[in-house]
Structure 1
Amino acid sequence: MENKSRLGLYIPEQTPMRQGSFLDDPERVGEWINSLPIANVGETARRVFKALVELNRMELSPATRIKVTELFHRPINHISEGLRKYYYDVTFPLAAKSHKVAVLNRELHAELAIAYKIFIEEILESGSTRKLDRKLLVIAIHRTLRQLARVLYHSVIIYEPYPKGVWREIHRLYRYAEKSGAEELPVKETPGGSSVSSIQDIYLRSLLFAACSPYRLRQPEIAALHQRLPEWSGHLTLGKVDQRSRAATLFISKLDSDRPPGHISIQERPFDRHCRQLDTSGLVSHLRTIAAGLAESERGDTSFGPAPFSARLLHKLMAVLSSRPERRYVRTRLNFELNTAAGIPAIHAMTRQSEPEPATEEPEAGEPELDDLDWFTRSGERPLINTPLYGQGPGGSEPTIGSLDDPMDETALGGANESLSLQDSDAPVWTLTAERKIPDPFNCKTDNESAGGYCILWHGPGTPPIKVGEVLGIQSTSDRYRFAIGIIRWMRNVPIHGLQVGVEFIARESAPVLAGRVAGNGEEGALKCLLLPGNPAQEISQTLITPPLPFHTEDRIWIDDGHNRREVELTRLIDSSGAFSRFQFVTLDQGADTTSFDDIWSEL
């Protein structure tokens, strides 16, 4: 059973305090918090969560409740930071334990918000006009909005939908503050802290976070965006809606809805008194200035690598905040099966020539020479010759042979470090290493499709781990060696239904190649890449998909498809993420001498 406050906030039913509880005494609560085993995050989380749940379901005076609630900020912040390692910067779908930890983190903030919401209801129900109570009411609204904003963040960081009712409560709290004239009053963000903000500041941060389409970002990008909300929200303006405006930097927030802000171009008109207009033009100009400075220092083509922010991400955010969202293709709800490969290494391994390789005669097995025997290891324990990678089996038992072709190498930057040698071999490039296990395609189903891509249901046994920005190969139904190429643009982890993945097509076919930088004194090691055909309709010539870090525009590299080898210059970075970079290039005339001008003097 639950109660509804005058503002329509969710609060659980309160019952008389159980005998022996210490939660009615702020001093004892403070001593209890100081005695928590903070080095043991799990045990601390269990105790704090249990105490908060009890606090929110027991009858308590408003003055005592607000004092006790304020004490929980410090341990919850400590716990939240300690729990994030279980689900941050990881692949999806999450393991069951990691998902449960992420939900726990979110619920800690939700319970802290409930504690403040109970206080808000009690003050409003009492009708108190005392100056102290009105001041505490503003603080409680501010605190509630901050915790609900954390609930939004902890939902997005694991690509789960915003919890039902959270946006409704955020809008209603802001509307009440605005009506009371309290939305711009300064409030300390945490008890005893030095940072100050207003209710409107916190509301703007939540609006901006949602307006940036966070489900289209990778986890480190989501975290980087969230960290900059306090600074960036200062470049926003919020006010009544201009009914005549059609500016591409305007978003509409509906204070009577349970929805995040939406772009003005997709909102129904006319706008009523419950609508507010968010203008991002000032922030877009600010981001443009930052991006220009980053472009100069990072050669203008950064991938999302070790740096916490990049020019590429800034341009992505600027596009979202200053462009009208348009669906280019009609989407049709269809359910059919697809065979897919996730990541550059997996696609490279499966995209092979369909012609069978020439048969080779196996030499007769004979007695081994004495020099070939390993006298110090029992034969059953010797590793296979030329095995590319060794690992421990489950539980640390027998060693197992792993493959450098396993999907997702590039998400850990493994693809960028893998090096192959082409010297002293006439074999095709994909046969230069020892025999490897070729990963099997992952069979999944579509939820809907359009000419531009698919919405895929990504769950089931043996589900490959993925991230937003991953390269996805889609196997041809007529030729198992042919793969169309798409990019995972967004993810949404819907409870019960599982992980939904939005894939944008970028090429109908691909070819596996090796590529390496042409250095001043030779050539660097080879990296697995994918060669994509040109697209005349988009005026795009052949492009190369590479691991995320090693190459930049203006680099001279070589490309080997197993039959031909050529030197090219990377001319333009079309797209990139933490999993890949996609370049346009031009083939260099290796017969021409670009440093000598003796052959043109007579022509001048």
Structure 2
Amino acid sequence: MSLLLFDLAEVNRDQLTSCELKLAALESWLKNLPLAHPEGSCQALSQFLEEFNQLKFLPLRRLEWLNLIQPLVHQVTQGLDTGSHFEQEGDLAQNLQNLLAQGYKRVVNDLLKLRDQLPPPILARSLLQALYNALKESSALILRSCLLSVNAPANTWQELNLLYHLACQSRLQHKNLTTNSPKNCEEAYFQVVLLALIQAETLRSDEVTLVYPLLAEAAALLNRLAEDNPNQLFIISAEHQYIPQRSGLDAQNAKPTPPQKNTHPKGRGLSLDTRILIDALNTHLAKSQLSKRLSQHLAACLGEANDRITPRIETNDPIELVLGLRSVHFHMNNKRPLESLVAGGNLNEKPKDNPFITASQDDPWSAAFDAGENTSNGHIQLVEMQTNLSTSLDEELNKRHPIYSLTQVNASATGYCIFWQGEEVPLLKTGELVAFREAVSDPWQAGLIRWVKDVQQGLQMGIERLGGRMQPCAVKPIIKIGEQRDFMPGFLIPELQVLGIPAGLITPLLPFREGQKVEISYSQGVEKAKLFKLVSSPGAFNQFELEPLGVKGLSLH
């Protein structure tokens, strides 16, 4: 049994299968890891750490070994995080990082068991290292969940809070271990706490990556209060499994948290006041390396709950806009047709209704090429014909899904006011789905037209951001009797289990309805789900909360 109720493996091993219990043997084994192949290295390190966490080992030696292993784990998980198979590689990285975090928590556990037998300087120094690394590795699990929408262990927040509580009890929370942020246990804990409070589920992954290092520096500006302090803006409590959230949330707006048996001692809750942090953020807004919109997003999320009107910044910056669900789907799917998302579909398949594609058997150059008559002249003409077809196809698709170059009137944390000059188009109406980007190098983000009004020489429209994590998919209703439906364009909204955010789905208005079962085809395969709850229907599309029906569930990346 674990003294501190960490979720740790039972210690029952005397040896390791990978190497002898000598430091030189470990160093030799680590040098031979196939680091050029992250998956192979991950498998080897995971097996090693599983055994190591069950090994009967003194805590000081365990800490020394873990500190040697840690850089290799970081190198391997970084390689997995940038791989092409996000679901599989993200889960592998989570498992490996969790095993490393468990190793450091084992050191914390065992050091406190021996606290009366170790000299105080050695105990304090070793405990500080173990607490800091356990906090950092556990925080990385939540960060990866926000970046890749993979799962983190259900007890991650509880154990993070317990680690910070132990650091405070030992008066080690402010002891610096490095000159880089996070410098100490307090910064390491509140860095990930702030990540949970800034609505990371609404941000793009690159925005989360940009903001996260700055949150460690911002931790010093947080005012920590007692759990029942009336000045609290946010609270961390056992009632909500220590998941940070805004205080005073009503039942409708509160993030759902799965009921769990709370086995941890009470008295570890605390409250946060972010007013000083917000003042600093607003003061340095012009000097910030963040965009104005992202800075405002942070201010809106961390500010007082009753301040719902976010400040607007006057601007005439350019912005590109795409109108309508099908066009938004096309551009957010990297200009690939819907068929590319249907199971078994070819990613390079041309749209079936494209007028420029003809049967290959009617093409003499294609027939000659297939028969082996690859003369120099014939090959050149074939290439020219394919190039012309490709160019014609691109021109046709660009006409069907135009990009409009417009100008911003003002911007805020929640969206934009945009000026439309020129001829109106039918899709320019309230409730329509749109995609926008401020620069060609930026990824497309989804939005919703909230209002349209006439102004001098044109129109103005209000665009509300819908978050940066929507993933294009193909969806169709499951019909047992009657004519089957074809796949239609839709968007998956990732589940963030560690923050209590359920999965969602955006569909066309018809034929989808609440309670219906659907088949979803996307980059990770085909899954079935139930349209559990209609969240909103602003006019041109529906947004549902999803309930996965398969054993695997919906892993969205």
The TM-score bracket by the shorter chain reads: 0.5 to 0.7
- Say if 2:148 is the partner of 1:163: no
Q: Is the 8 A contact 1:211 1:261 kept in 2?
A: yes
Partner residue of 2:298? 317
- CA shift in 2, pair 1:401/1:82, >3 Å: farther
Letter of the 1:30 counterpart: E
Q: Is the 8 A contact 2:489 2:508 kept in 1?
A: no
Counterpart selection for 2:112 from 116, 124, 146: 124
Q: For 1:443, what is the secondary structure of its paired residue?
A: strand
The separation in 1 between residues aligned to 2:210 and 2:534, in whole angstroms, is: 24
The separation in 2 between residues aligned to 1:220 and 1:117, in whole angstroms, is: 30
Partner residue of 2:314? none
- CA shift in 2, pair 1:20/1:81, >3 Å: closer
Q: Is the 8 A contact 2:508 2:540 kept in 1?
A: no
Counterpart selection for 1:265 from 244, 248, 253: 248
- Say if 2:104 is the partner of 1:102: no
Partner residue of 2:229? 243
Q: Is the 8 A contact 1:80 1:105 kept in 2?
A: yes
- CA shift in 2, pair 1:265/1:21, >3 Å: same
- Say if 2:445 is the partner of 1:443: no
Letter of the 2:26 counterpart: V
Letter of the 1:114 counterpart: Q
- Say if 2:212 is the partner of 1:220: no
Q: Is the 8 A contact 1:387 1:401 kept in 2?
A: no
The separation in 2 between residues aligned to 1:498 and 1:126, in whole angstroms, is: 51
- Say if 2:521 is the partner of 1:508: no
Q: Is the 8 A contact 2:181 2:216 kept in 1?
A: no
The separation in 2 between residues aligned to 1:184 and 1:444, in whole angstroms, is: 55
Structure whose CA Rg is larger: 1
Q: Is the 8 A contact 2:226 2:271 kept in 1?
A: yes
The separation in 2 between residues aligned to 1:343 and 1:59, in whole angstroms, is: 57
Q: For 2:57, what is the secondary structure of its paired residue?
A: coil
Q: Is the 8 A contact 1:341 1:474 kept in 2?
A: no
Partner residue of 1:387? 389
- CA shift in 2, pair 1:211/1:8, >3 Å: same
Partner residue of 1:292? 286
The separation in 2 between residues aligned to 1:235 and 1:409, in whole angstroms, is: 36
Deviates most, 77-86 or 376-385: 376-385
The separation in 2 between residues aligned to 1:44 and 1:86, in whole angstroms, is: 14
Quote the offset at 1:473 in angstroms.
7.7
- CA shift in 2, pair 1:414/1:245, >3 Å: closer
- Say if 2:29 is the partner of 1:32: yes
- TM norm structure 2: 0.57
- Say if 2:112 is the partner of 1:112: no
The separation in 2 between residues aligned to 1:174 and 1:349, in whole angstroms, is: 47
Q: Is the 8 A contact 1:24 1:60 kept in 2?
A: no
Q: For 1:157, what is the secondary structure of its paired residue?
A: helix
- CA shift in 2, pair 1:124/1:274, >3 Å: closer
- CA shift in 2, pair 1:138/1:15, >3 Å: same
Q: Is the 8 A contact 1:168 1:256 kept in 2?
A: no
- TM norm structure 1: 0.53
The separation in 2 between residues aligned to 1:159 and 1:500, in whole angstroms, is: 20
Letter of the 1:237 counterpart: N
Identity within the alignment, % = 18
Partner residue of 1:185? 175
Q: For 2:389, what is the secondary structure of its paired residue?
A: coil
The separation in 1 between residues aligned to 2:528 and 2:110, in whole angstroms, is: 39
Partner residue of 2:414? none
Higher helix share: 2
- CA shift in 2, pair 1:27/1:410, >3 Å: farther
- CA shift in 2, pair 1:121/1:18, >3 Å: same
Q: For 1:278, what is the secondary structure of its paired residue?
A: strand
- CA shift in 2, pair 1:382/1:184, >3 Å: closer
Coordinate RMSD, CA, aligned: 4.8
Q: Is the 8 A contact 2:98 2:141 kept in 1?
A: yes
Q: Is the 8 A contact 1:110 1:148 kept in 2?
A: yes
Q: Is the 8 A contact 1:184 1:200 kept in 2?
A: yes
> What are the ranges of 5 or more consecutive residues in structure 1 without an aligned counterpart?
88-96, 295-307, 328-338, 351-373, 392-399, 418-438, 446-459, 481-492, 511-604
- Say if 2:54 is the partner of 1:60: no
Quote the offset at 1:169 in angstroms.
0.6
- CA shift in 2, pair 1:186/1:32, >3 Å: same
Q: For 1:187, what is the secondary structure of its paired residue?
A: coil
Q: For 1:17, what is the secondary structure of its paired residue?
A: coil
Partner residue of 2:73? 76
Quote the offset at 1:410 in angstroms.
7.3
- CA shift in 2, pair 1:475/1:113, >3 Å: closer
The separation in 1 between residues aligned to 2:156 and 2:395, in whole angstroms, is: 48
Q: Is the 8 A contact 1:62 1:119 kept in 2?
A: yes
Letter of the 1:343 counterpart: V
- CA shift in 2, pair 1:416/1:123, >3 Å: closer
- Say if 2:83 is the partner of 1:86: yes
The separation in 1 between residues aligned to 2:112 and 2:473, in whole angstroms, is: 61
Q: Is the 8 A contact 2:237 2:270 kept in 1?
A: yes
Partner residue of 1:376? 378
- Say if 2:239 is the partner of 1:253: no
Quote the offset at 1:175 in angstroms.
1.8
Partner residue of 2:351? none
The separation in 1 between residues aligned to 2:125 and 2:245, in whole angstroms, is: 33
Counterpart selection for 1:279 from 267, 273, 278: 273
The correspondence of residues 277-426 of structure 1 with structure 2, limited to 5 A, is: 277-293=271-287, 309-324=290-305, 341=326, 343=328, 345=330, 376=378, 383=385, 387-388=389-390, 403=397, 413=440
Quote the offset at 1:62 in angstroms.
1.9
Letter of the 1:200 counterpart: E
The separation in 2 between residues aligned to 1:183 and 1:138, in whole angstroms, is: 8
Q: For 2:8, what is the secondary structure of its paired residue?
A: strand
Letter of the 1:228 counterpart: L
Partner residue of 1:14? 11
Quote the offset at 1:173 in angstroms.
1.6
The correspondence of residues 451-470 of structure 1 with structure 2, limited to 5 A, is: none
Quote the offset at 1:140 in angstroms.
0.9
The separation in 2 between residues aligned to 1:278 and 1:104, in whole angstroms, is: 34
Q: Is the 8 A contact 1:342 1:473 kept in 2?
A: no
Q: For 1:11, what is the secondary structure of its paired residue?
A: coil
Quote the offset at 1:315 in angstroms.
0.8
Q: For 1:508, what is the secondary structure of its paired residue?
A: coil
Quote the offset at 1:149 in angstroms.
0.3
- CA shift in 2, pair 1:285/1:387, >3 Å: farther
Q: For 2:270, what is the secondary structure of its paired residue?
A: strand
The separation in 2 between residues aligned to 1:322 and 1:63, in whole angstroms, is: 43
Letter of the 1:47 counterpart: A
- CA shift in 2, pair 1:255/1:442, >3 Å: closer
